[in-house]
Amino acid sequence: MISKLAIPALALAAGVAAIQGQGRFNPVVELLAQRKPVFGVYAPRNPRAGRGGAAAEAVPQASKTPAQLAQDALEYKSSDYIFDGSMEGDFDAAFPIFAEFMKGLAAGGTVDRSPSPHLHHPVVVKTHEIAPDVALAAQRIGRQLDLGVSGIVFVGVESADEVKAGLAAMRFKSNGGTRPDAVGTAPSVWGMTGQEYRTKADLWPLNPNGELTNWTIVESKEGLKHVREIAAVKGISVLFPGAGTLRGVFSTTDSTGKRVFDAAGWEAAIQQVLAACKEFNVPCGYPATGTTSKNACARASASSSSTGASKASKRSTSARRRRAARHPEGA
pLDDT digits (tens, 9 = 90+) for 131-168: 999 999 999 999 999 999 999 999 999 999 999 999 99
pLDDT at site 286: 77
Percent of the chain at pLDDT > 90 equals 67
pLDDT at site 32: 85
- Cα separation of the two ends of the chain: 38
pLDDT at site 183: 97
User: Which of 195, 142, 144 has its CA nearest to residue 171?
Assistant: 142
| pLDDT reading at 106 higher than 80 | yes
- Binned at pLDDT 50, 70 and 90, residue 316 comes out as very low
pLDDT at site 6: 41
- Binned at pLDDT 50, 70 and 90, residue 284 comes out as confident
Question: By the 8 A CB rule, do 18 and 36 touch?
Answer: no
Q: If you average pLDDT over residues 274-290, what whole number do you get?
A: 83
Q: What global pTM score does this model have?
A: 0.83
Task: Locate the domains of the chain by residue range.
Answer: 4-45+64-326
| pLDDT reading at 289 higher than 80 | no
pLDDT at site 19: 37
pLDDT at site 306: 23
CATH homologous superfamily of 4-45+64-326: Phosphoenolpyruvate-binding domains (3.20.20.60)
- Reading across the β-sheet that carries 38-42, which strands appear in turn? 4-7, 38-42, 81-84, 123-126, 151-154, 213-218, 238-241, 284-288, 322-326
Q: If you average pLDDT over residues 100-124, what whole number do you get?
A: 95
| pLDDT reading at 7 higher than 60 | no
Q: Of 20-24, 35-39, 228-232, 298-302, give the range with the top mean pLDDT.
A: 228-232
Q: If you average pLDDT over residues 170-190, what whole number do you get?
A: 96
Average confidence score pLDDT of the chain: 82
pLDDT in tens, 67-99: 999 999 999 988 889 999 999 999 999 999 999
